[in-house]
Amino acid sequence: MFVVALVSGIIGALLGLGGGIIVVPALTVLFGIDIHYAIGASIVSVIATSSGAAVRYIRDHISNLRMGMFLEVATTTGAITGAFVGAYLAGATLFFIFGAILLYSCVVMVQHGRMEQASMTGALDPEVLAEMPDDQKSLGRRLARRLHLDSQYYDAALKREIGYRVQGVPLGFVLMYIGGMVSGLLGIGGGALKVPAMDIAMRVPMKVSTTTSNFMIGVTAAASAGVYFSRGDINPLIAAPVAIGVLAGALLGAHLLIRMRGGLIRQIFVVVLVITALEMFLRAFGLGV
Amino acid sequence: MSTLPPEHEPAPEGAASQTPENADAPTSSTPGGEGNTSQTAARGGPALETVLGWILRVGVTASAVLIVAGVVLFFFTGSTGYSGSLNNLDSLVYYSQSAGDRFPTTPGDVFSGLVGLHPYALIALGLLVLIATPVVRVAASVLLFWLERDGVYVFLTLLVLFILIISFLLGKAV
C-alpha cells in the first residue's frame, strides 16, 4: 500500500492530479477496500501530494499563485456541491462518471498537443511576448489583465524564461467549477479536469497547468476533507500509509517535473488518464477484478 | 502594479498590464531555478514566500511524524485505542456508516483520544494537521496579497477562505 502511495505521489506531483486517480482504483481493485474509504484516503493523498510538491514549486515560482487563487473560488464552490451530491449516488454511477470525464480529458489534451506543436504558441520568450499585440477587446484578455494572471517562469529543461498570456478566463472559471464538483464527488483532486481547462481554455504552458493545478487541488481537497473526516470516511489504518507514501512520492515528483519537458509531461498525463478511464469503465460495468 | 521597479521601461501598449516580472526578469537566469530571485523581488514578498514555504514544511513534517508515531504505536501495542486490534484487521477496514466508535471522526474525539495516547488518535491528528496545512496556506496568502497592496486578491483569497470554512461547517452538519 505504501508503494502504491509512493508511485501515486510521484505521478500526482508531476501531473497535477493529486494521485487520487491512482489511489482510488488501487485501493478498491488491488486491496478490495470499500469505495468510501478509498475516496476518503485519496482525499488525504491529494492534500499530501499538493503540500509535498508545493514546497518545491513555491520556491521555483512555476505555479501561478494568482491564477490558482482566482480559479479556486470556482473550484471550492464546486467541491461543496459535489461532496453533498456524492452521498446520494451509487458506486457504479460514480465509476462511470469518473471514466467518462477522464476519457473526455484525454481526447482534448491530445488535440491540444497537436495544436501546440503546429503553432508553437505555447511557450514564448517574455521579451518577444511583450512586443506582440494583445487582444484589447475579448472578455478573457480584459479579465486576465485586470486580475494580473499573465506571468512567466524559468524552465530548467529549456534553460530559459517562458512568458505566457492567459486566455479564455470565463470558460476556464466555469470548467473549474465543474472540476471542483468532480473532486467533491469522487475524492480526486479534479486535476484531471483542471489541467485540461488551464491547458486548452486558458492556454498556459503545461508545467504551469500541472503545478498550479497541484496548488489548487490541495485547497479544494481540504474543503472536502472536513466533510469526509466527520462522516467517518477517513479510516486511519488506510489513510496513514497512503499519506506517508504520497508525501515521499510528491517530493520526488516535484524534483522530476522541474527537469522535464512540458511535451513529455503532457504525454505521460494522457497515458495515465487513458489507463485510468478504462479501469473505471470496467468497474462501472462490474467487470473489475 | 506598485511593485514595478523605477528603471523599468514602459511596456508597449498591448502589454501595458503584464505583470512586472514578465517585463523585467532577465532571460539569462542561472540554471536550476535559482535564477528566479528577480521574480521574487518583483512580487514584493520574498520574506512571505519564505513564510509560505516554511508553513508547508512545518505542516508536512509535523503530520508525517504524527502519523508514523501513531502507526508505530499501533503495531507496538496491537490496539487502535478504540474498538479494534491488530488481531482482527478485517474488521478495521470493513465499511459501516457508524464509524464513530471505531476511530475518531471529530477534532474533539481526536484530542480526548490523545489524552489516552490512542494510536488512532495520533494518526488522526497527523491527518488533521495535513488537512489544515492548505487552509493555513490560504490564510497566509491573504497577508501576502495585503502587503502587496493587491486589494482584488485580498478579496478573492478571503472569499476562498470563507468558502473553505463554510464547507467545514456544512460537513459537520451532515
DSSP B12: P
In the predicted structure, residue A289 carries a pLDDT above the cut 50: no
Residue pair B137/A46 in contact (Cβ under 8 Å)? The answer is no
Cross-chain CB nearest to B67 (options A37, A55, A240): A240
Largest alpha-carbon pair distance within chain A? 57
Sign of the dihedral defined by the CA atoms of residues A127, A128, A132, A138, in that order: negative
In the predicted structure, residue A53 carries a pLDDT above the cut 70: yes
How far is B168 from chain A, CA to nearest CA, in Å? Answer: 5
Percent with pLDDT over 90 in chain B: 9
- Predicted confidence at residue B90, as pLDDT, reads 59
**pLDDT mean across residues, chain B:** 68
Instruction: Tell me the C-alpha distance between A125 and A128, whole Å.
Output: 5
Q: How many C-beta atoms lie closer than 10 Å to residue B166's C-beta?
A: 14
Cross-chain CB nearest to A34 (options B53, B95, B131): B95
Instruction: Tell me the C-alpha distance between B92 and B77, whole Å.
Output: 16
**What residue in A sits closest to B79 (Cα-Cα)?**
A237
Name the residue with higher pLDDT: B35 or A9: A9
- Residue contact A134–B170, C-beta within 8 A: no
The owner of cell 483532486 is: A189
Residues in chain B within 8 Å Cβ distance of A161: 25-27, 29
- Stretch A232-243: mean pLDDT: 85
- Residue contact B17–A231, C-beta within 8 A: no
**What residue in B sits closest to A164 (Cα-Cα)?**
B22
Residue pair A25/A45 in contact (Cβ under 8 Å)? The answer is no
Best probe of the A interface among B2, B56, B120, by most A CBs < 10 A, is B56
Q: Which three cell numbers stand for residue B91?
A: 474488521
Residues in chain B within 8 Å Cβ distance of A41: none
Residue pair A221/A46 in contact (Cβ under 8 Å)? The answer is yes
How far is A108 from chain B, CA to nearest CA, in Å? Answer: 28
Cβ-Cβ pairs closer than 8 A, A with B, add up to 233
Name the residue with higher pLDDT: A230 or B162: B162
- Residue contact B27–A152, C-beta within 8 A: no
Amino acid at position A131, single letter: E
Instruction: Tell me the C-alpha distance between A189 and A198, whole Å.
Output: 15
- Predicted confidence at residue B158, as pLDDT, reads 93
Largest alpha-carbon pair distance within chain B? 72
Instruction: Tell me the C-alpha distance between A92 and A69, whole Å.
Output: 33
Start-to-end CA span in chain B (Å): 44
Q: Within 13 Å and on the Cβ side, how many CA atoms surround B74? A: 28
- Residue contact A151–B126, C-beta within 8 A: no
In the predicted structure, residue A283 carries a pLDDT above the cut 80: no
Cα A123 to the center of its chain, rounded Å: 20
Using pLDDT thresholds of 50, 70 and 90, give the confidence band for residue A117. low
- Predicted confidence at residue B18, as pLDDT, reads 40
Q: Within 13 Å and on the Cβ side, how many CA atoms surround A252? A: 13
Residues in chain A within 8 Å Cβ distance of B18: 130, 150
- Residue contact B163–A152, C-beta within 8 A: no
The owner of cell 462490474 is: A286
Segment A154-167, tens digit of pLDDT: 777 777 777 788 88
- Residue contact B156–A159, C-beta within 8 A: no
Using pLDDT thresholds of 50, 70 and 90, give the confidence band for residue B130. very high
Instruction: Tell me the C-alpha distance between A90 and A262, whole Å.
Output: 37
The owner of cell 482534448 is: A108
Q: Which of A214, A251, A267 is nearest to A62 (CA)?
A: A214
Q: Which three cell numbers stand for residue B137?
A: 496556506
Of A55-69, A224-238, A274-288, B85-99, least confident by mean pLDDT is: B85-99
- Residue contact A218–B134, C-beta within 8 A: yes
Name the residue with higher pLDDT: B45 or A234: A234
Of A213-217, B16-20, B109-113, B131-135, least confident by mean pLDDT is: B16-20
- Predicted confidence at residue B62, as pLDDT, reads 92
Q: Could you give phi then psi for residue B65, rounded to 5 degrees?
A: -60, -45
Instruction: Tell me the C-alpha distance between A250 and A53, whole Å.
Output: 5
Helices (H) and strands (E) in chain B, counts: 7, 0
- Residue contact A241–B29, C-beta within 8 A: no
Cross-chain CB nearest to B174 (options A126, A159, A231): A231
Q: Which of B23, B73, B124, B155 is nearest to A232 (CA)?
A: B124
- Stretch B44-55: mean pLDDT: 69
Q: Could you give phi then psi for residue A261, rounded to 5 degrees?
A: -85, 145
- Predicted confidence at residue A188, as pLDDT, reads 56
Segment B89-121, tens digit of pLDDT: 555 566 655 555 567 777 777 777 777 777 888
**Residue A226 neighbours by CB under 8 Å, 6+ apart:** B131, B167, B168, B171, B172
- Residue contact A225–B131, C-beta within 8 A: yes
Segment A57-110, tens digit of pLDDT: 877 778 888 888 889 899 888 877 876 776 676 667 777 877 887 788 788 778
Best probe of the A interface among B8, B17, B57, B141, by most A CBs < 10 A, is B17
- Residue contact A147–B68, C-beta within 8 A: no
Radius of gyration, alpha carbons of chain B: 23
- Say what the ipTM of the complex is: 0.77
Name the residue with higher pLDDT: B128 or A92: B128
Beta-bridge partner residues of A153? A162
